Amino acid sequence: MYAMAPHHQALVITLAGVLLHYSPCLISVSAQPLPQPAEPLFPAFFIFGDSLVDCGNNNYITLTLAKANIPPNGIDFPTHRATGRFCNGKTSHDVLADYIGLPYPPPAVAPASRGFAILRGLNYGSGAGGILDETGANYIDRLSMNEQISLFQQTVNQLNAMLGPSAATDLLRNSLFTSVMGSNDYVNNYLLTSNNSTRNQYTPSQYVQLLVSTYRTQLTTIYNLGARKFVVFNVGPLGCIPSRLALGSIDGSCVAADNELVVSFNTALKPLTLELTRTLPESIFLYGNSYDAVYDLILDPFPAGFNVVNEGCCGGGEYNGQLPCLPVVDQLCSNRDEYVFWDAFHPTQAVNEVLGFRSFGGPISDISPMNVQQLSRLRL
């Protein structure tokens, strides 16, 4: 039997107290927006991930096909312009930043992301990036998870130089860290029709083991660089995105085989978050259940105000899933808040508002063992 280390005994007691104190939040999610705090709930917000959270890093990567810095992307963003976000407006992490009271973390590779600009956090997310270094090669250049971690190492060095090691350590241990990875490891690797080498090399279960093993090392590295409070989001229902519908759906329903692959990965990811919390002193890894949050909207969209679940608002081809969202497209919906998907791959701002809300204040079915609001009250 596993013997619980003293720091984990204290953590379990603290967790129990937090969950008991906030038990009403674990029963239901209010339909009303949660109030924004007068003061930030975390000193900084550091984001790792793919195009679901990229806020403009790929704008600065010359040789990449994964860019969203052209309209109509950003049409509903506060600035009403394309910023590099693969969305009509805010990403789920923009919404989360609103709730925790912090400005949107700037792209890590932007020239201005130096000095005092990094003190509230940075966004390392990159369109086409994945857990595996080779993932997304079909888009030429991108920032893999390992490359994002290398950038974070540079950030830590800068913080140490600016604040001193003690203050930098304190900032990092109390900051919020999130990771949104894995989608491209399937869509732009394992499921890629132009590249069968990965599928020929690994069975689905072997591939899950490879991803989880690699991810374990990566998250541990971020921990060793000073992070303590993590949210690791699972992969959404890829079999329901317009690009996969265009390839494998006859009637517009989700591609079950794709979703089965994703569920296998997600099933292994949750125990990983528990393992890391157990084995890394003073850490807490939350498991964000994006899959069910999005799939629920697809199965029962109307109560949340959605009407179109199997077609991109912007794009072209079947289900608007075969052509990217570009200024020349003649398919751009006007009722964007009623669409689940913005383009062939990404959700609309309306969905991101749901995801951000549920990760911040949702029950344990959305995010476990606590939500981000509760995590902000936890002192490690």
Encoding tokens for residue 216?
Answer: 């374990």
Catalytic residue, from 8, 50, 51, 98: name it: 51
Q: Using a cut of 0.85, tell me whether the model's pTM lies above it.
A: yes
Encoding tokens for residue 223?
Answer: 């921990």
Active site residue 21: no
Active site residue 194: no
Catalytic residue, from 179, 183, 346, 376: name it: 346
Catalytic residue, from 54, 98, 343, 366: name it: 343
| CATH C-level class of 41-377 | alpha beta
How many other C-beta atoms lie within 10 A of the C-beta of residue 372?
A: 24
SS (H, E, C) the chain: CCCCCHHHHHHHHHHHHHHHHCHHHHCCCCCCCCCCCCCCCCCCEEEEECCCCCCCHHHHCCCECCCCCCCCCCCCCCCCCCCCCCCCCCCHHHHHHHHHCCCCCCECCCCCCCHHHHCCCCECCCCCCCCCCCCCHHHECCCCHHHHHHHHHHHHHHHHHHHCHHHHHHHHHHCEEEEECCHHHHHHHHCCCCCCHHHHHCCHHHHHHHHHHHHHHHHHHHHHCCCCEEEEECCCCHHHCHHHHHHHCCCCCCCHHHHHHHHHHHHHHHHHHHHHHHHCCCCEEEEECHHHHHHHHHHCCHHHCCCEEEEECECECHHHCCECCCCCCCCECCCHHHEEECCCCCECHHHHHHHHHHHHHCCCCCEECCCHHHHHHCCC
Active site residue 346: yes
**pLDDT by position in tens, the chain (length 380):** 333 343 444 443 344 343 333 333 333 333 456 677 889 999 999 999 999 999 999 999 999 999 999 999 999 999 999 999 999 999 999 999 999 999 999 999 999 999 999 999 999 999 999 999 999 999 999 999 999 999 999 999 999 999 999 999 999 999 999 999 999 999 999 999 887 789 999 999 999 999 999 999 999 999 999 999 999 999 999 999 999 999 999 999 999 999 999 999 999 999 999 999 999 999 999 999 999 999 999 999 999 999 999 999 999 999 999 999 988 876 799 999 999 999 999 999 999 999 999 999 999 999 999 999 999 999 77
**Residue ranges covered by each domain of the chain:** 41-377
pLDDT digits (tens, 9 = 90+) for 26-68: 333 334 566 778 899 999 999 999 999 999 999 999 999 999 9
